[in-house]
Structure 1
Amino acid sequence: MKFTMIHNNINVLNLEKSMKFYEEALGLTEVKRIAPESGEFIIVYLGDGSGCHKLELTWLRDRDEPYDLGDNEFHLAFGTDDYEGALAKHQKMGCVEFINEEMGIYFITDPDGYWLEVLPPGRG
């Protein structure tokens, strides 16, 4: 028996703002959308074009208060082929939350406060 990772889900308050952030910050683009006629939710799957794993953004029509992220001890990680360039870009965007120079990694936050780890080439 074999299992394959398919996607991770995060819920967002402003779908368009989140989609714009993920495209600008990490190059993720929409690959699939589920939007029932009732309009009660929209699910958008984002991909990086290199594999089958997706990030699922879920927007709920009736949700208007921020999600409780607890201690925010969970995160998604992204590798990059240009760590210094990525760090400079994210600093310019104002989304760098924490730089761990000892480990050679940093974290950015999305519009809903989710942490995203950025790793240099060969790490992960």
Structure 2
Amino acid sequence: MNGVPMAKNIHSMIRVLDEARSLAFYKAAFDLDIAERLDFQAFTLVYLSNTESEFELELTINKDRTEPYNLGDGYGHLAVSVSDLDAEHARLEQAGLNPGKLIEFKPDGVPVGHFFFITDPDGYKIEVLQRGGRFK
């Protein structure tokens, strides 16, 4: 690319209402631990990661916020991949995290993806995909 370095995805940020509740969910659901916590006067940033990827999830906690965030109709979802989708679905179910139904997406009979969705405490959707093909 003409000697120009490519951009590297490093994190995605979501705003959450209750730090402890979100930390517990992301630890139980995806084994995400705090990589760094930056506390400021008006807000706190918490970066979460695990050993599977360098990519991080940044939680922003605005200290004066008391009302849940309105996610509107612009937010889609985060996505993670797992090596055994059925086992992961069962584990999340047993943990009481209420994963959605397993979906095999095969338009016109062509397999595109095998996945389910789970919702975090603030209403953010996370797609959990069977690892393989373009979903590494």
Which deviates more, 53-62 or 88-97? Answer: 88-97
Q: 1:48 to 1:13 in 2, by over 3 A?
A: same
Q: Distance in 1 between matches of 2:64 and 2:16?
A: 12
Identity across the alignment (%): 37
Say if 1:95 and 1:115 are closer, same or farther in 2 by CA, change over 3 A: same
Q: Which residue of 2 aligns with 1:4?
A: 8
2:128 aligns with 118
TM-score, normalization by structure 1: 0.89
Match of 1:18 among 18, 22, 28: 22
**Larger C-alpha radius of gyration, 1 or 2?**
2
Cα 1:101–1:15 shift into 2, 3 Å:
same
Secondary structure of the corresponding residue to residue 65 of structure 1: coil
Distance in 1 (CA, whole Å) between partners of 2:102 and 2:76 is 16
Q: Which among 60, 68, 71 is matched to residue 69 of structure 1?
A: 71
Residue identity in the other structure for 2:124: Y
> Is the CA contact (8 Å cut-off) linking 1:72 and 1:114 kept in structure 2?
no
Q: Which runs of 4+ in 1 moved over 2 A?
A: 97-103
Structure 2 residue runs without a partner (length 5+): 106-112
Q: Figure out how many residues of one structure are paired with residues of the other and give that number.
A: 122
The answer to whether the 8 A contact 1:95-1:110 is kept is no
CA contact (8 A) 2:25 2:120 kept: yes
Give TM-score, length-normalised by structure 2.
0.82
C-alpha separation in 2, matches of 1:14 and 1:70: 19
